[in-house]
Amino acid sequence: MASEQKEKLIRFYKGTEGEETVIKLVDLAEAVQRSQKFRLSGFLDPYGQEIAETVAANYPGLRVDFGGGYQGAERARAMYIHEDFAGTPSGFDIACLKASWNGQFARLSHRDVLGALMGLGIERDRLGDLLVTADSVRILCDSKMAEY
């Protein structure tokens, strides 16, 4: 049955920008079905979150929660939780880092900061929202990336 669901979902998103995302999310959902625990995705944009909800709706006994580090976050992580899981998930494992610069001499935009981070080899699904001000940025990221 799970294999049929997987094929149906992948076929639906085939050839779209959501194809790679749905493959990752279906694998997570199936891992939760097998383990009857919970799993956490990387950060998803709003379209990815929509796909995550679609995947959860196609797997009975599975629910999905989202967390982006603050209320109203655009990019969020999906947590698939099995209905028989008796514990409490540990959280969304999100860290908030702050970087600052002298705003008198440099004007950095969201694009500049994101480009610099991706230039370091950090994958986009490890980064949540970037909250840029005139002289600093708060970077929401996977807590495992915080040390990097």
| pTM of this structure | 0.90
- Give residue 6's pLDDT: 84
Instruction: Give me the phi and psi of 71, to 5 degrees please.
Output: -65, 130
Q: Which two tokens stand for residue 89?
A: 């998930």
On whether the 2-82 domain is CATH 3.30.1370.160, my answer is yes
Residues of the chain with confidence (pLDDT) below 50 = none
Give helix 2-13 / helix 19-35 axis angle, nearest 10°: 160
Q: What is the DSSP string of 45-103?
A: -HHHHHHHHHHHHTSTTEEEEEE-SSTT-SSEEEEEEETT--S------EEEEEEE--T
What is the per-residue pLDDT for 87? 84
What residues does CATH 3.30.1370.160 cover in the chain? 2-82
Quick: pLDDT tens for 70-91: 999 999 999 999 999 988 888 8
Residue 89's Cβ-count burial label (10 Å; 0-12, 13-18, 19+) is: middle
Distances (CA, A) of 50 to 35, 133, 142, 148: 24, 29, 20, 30
Q: Are 50 and 44 in contact (CB under 8 A)?
A: no
* Dist. CA 8–CA 89, nearest whole Å: 29
Query: What pLDDT shows up at residue 146?
Result: 86
